[in-house]
Chain A
C-alpha cells in the first residue's frame, strides 16, 4: 500500500521554506494571523516560526472557543452542576478552566457529578441510561462542533427525552474575524483561514475579507506543509496585489461547505443578538442560542443561571493575547502566576490556547536553553587518549 508521507519529506518542507524566503519582500514586515487555535498549536508544535524569515510575523487569533468564554459563563454552567440530580458533562478541555469558585474538576472534587464526554452523543446516552438524573451538556465550539450538538438535540427531541439539556456557548467565527479587523490596535496583512470550521461553512463566508477588507485569506490544513504552503499562497497574492479567498485544504474542505451540517444548525439554533467574548467585548450576532422549538433542551430555559459578568483578574492580559495585541510571553503573569499547573485563564489550559501552546513548546525550550547556557563549560582534555606515535 503506497501512501504519501509528506511530513517526513524534509526536502519538501525545506523547498517550501526556501520559496517563502524567495517570495518575502525584505523591505516589508508581514503580519499574518492564524485564526484557529488548532493552527496556533501546530505552529508551535512543529516549530514553524524557525522556518520563516524574521520579517514574517504570525499573530495568534481568537479561534479558541474555550478561551473566549468569559468567566461568568463558566460560573453559569457550574451553577447548574450544583443543582440536585444533575450530571454535568463537558469536553475534557473544559475541565480545568477556572470559574470564580473553581474549575469543573474542583467542583467534582467537592462532590458534584462532573464527567468528561468526548461527544455530545455520549451526554445523550448518559441521559437515556439515567432517567432519574438530569444530564447537562456544556456545549462549546465554533461551527465545527455546533452541527454535532444540533444533531444530538434533534435526536433527543425525536426520542422524547425529558432529562437532557444543553448549555449553549457555541460561537461563530466570522464576527470574531470582523472584530479583529475593526480593532484600531491591529494591523493584519492576511489571514491563514480556519481548517475544520471551513469543512462546515465552506469558503464563501470569507469573501468579504478579500473584497471589502482587501486582505488575502487562505484556508489551511494543519500539517507543517499545509501551513507553509498557505504562507506561500498568501505571499504570492500580496506580491501580485491580489485579494482572494483560496482553499489550500481542498482534501477536507468543500468550497460550498457541508449542507447537512448547516441545515442541522439552522434547525436547532439561531443567532443571539449579542454575546460577550473575552478580549473582544460584546459582539453582535456572534453566538448561537437554542430556538424556541427546542426550549425543553435549553438549559437556560430549564434552569436559572446567575448571569453575572465577571471580569478577568486585573493583572491577567487574556483579552490582549486573544486579540493578538500581545504575545503570550508578554503577559505579566505568563510563566509566573499563570502556568498550566495553576492557570489564571483558559488560554493557559485549553489545547487550542496560545499561552498553553507557547508554554509547552517554546517556553520550556527557552528555559532549557537558558539553563544550559549558564552551565560551566568544561574544556575537554585533548591529550587524553592520544598515544604517542
Chain B
C-alpha cells in the first residue's frame, strides 16, 4: 500500500480538470489529479499513482525502469488489478447498484 505505480497520462478531461485518463501497463483508468493542481501534468507526462490519486510527476526513464522491475518480479499483476479497480465506469456502476438492490 506504500507502493506507488507509474502511469502515463493519456488524456486530460476538459469537463473535469482534476481527472485524467492514465495508462498503466496497458490498462486505462481515470486517475485523480487533485494533488497535482499546482503543477498539473500534461498528456504524455508520467505520474506516480497511489490509491487512485497521482502523487507526483516522474521522468519517463525512471517510470519505465520501475515498470520493468514490477514486471520482472511478477508484481505487475497486482498493479494491474489495483488500477482496474479504480474509477468505476458506467457498466460497473450499474453492476454495483444491482448488487446493492439484491441486498448483502
Which residues in A have some Cβ–Cβ distance to B below 8 Å? 1-8, 36-39, 41, 45, 63, 65-66, 87, 91, 93, 111-113, 116-122, 125-126, 129-130, 132-133, 141, 144-145, 147-148, 151, 194-197, 199-200, 222-223, 251-254, 258-261, 264, 350-352
Contacts and interface: CB of A to CB of B under 8 A. Distances in A.
B11 interface: no
B60 interface: yes
Contact of B87 (A5, A121, A141): A121
A248 B38 CA distance: 24
Contacts of B50: 144-145, 148, 196
A252 B56 contact: yes
Contact of B38 (A4, A116, A122, A260): A260
B1 A5 contact: no
Contacts, number: 151
B100 A91 contact: no
Contacts of A251: 58-59, 62
Interface in B8-39: 32, 34-38
A230 to B, nearest CB: 15
B2 A223 contact: no
Given A4-B61, A199-B56, A251-B59, A119 B2 contact: no
A199 B86 contact: no
Contact of B85 (A117, A141, A147, A199): A117
Contacts of A2: 61
B2 to A, nearest CB: 3
A39 B3 CA distance: 9
Contacts of A259: 38
B51 A120 contact: yes
B93 interface: yes
Contacts of B87: 119, 121-122
26 contacts: A3-B65, A4-B61, A4-B65, A7-B65, A8-B68, A41-B2, A91-B51, A113-B100, A118-B51, A118-B52, A118-B86, A121-B86, A125-B93, A129-B97, A130-B96, A130-B100, A144-B2, A148-B50, A148-B51, A196-B2, A196-B4, A196-B50, A199-B48, A260-B35, A260-B38, A350-B1
Contacts of B103: 113
A223 B69 contact: yes
Contacts of B52: 118-122, 148
A201 to B, nearest CB: 12
Contacts of B97: 129-130
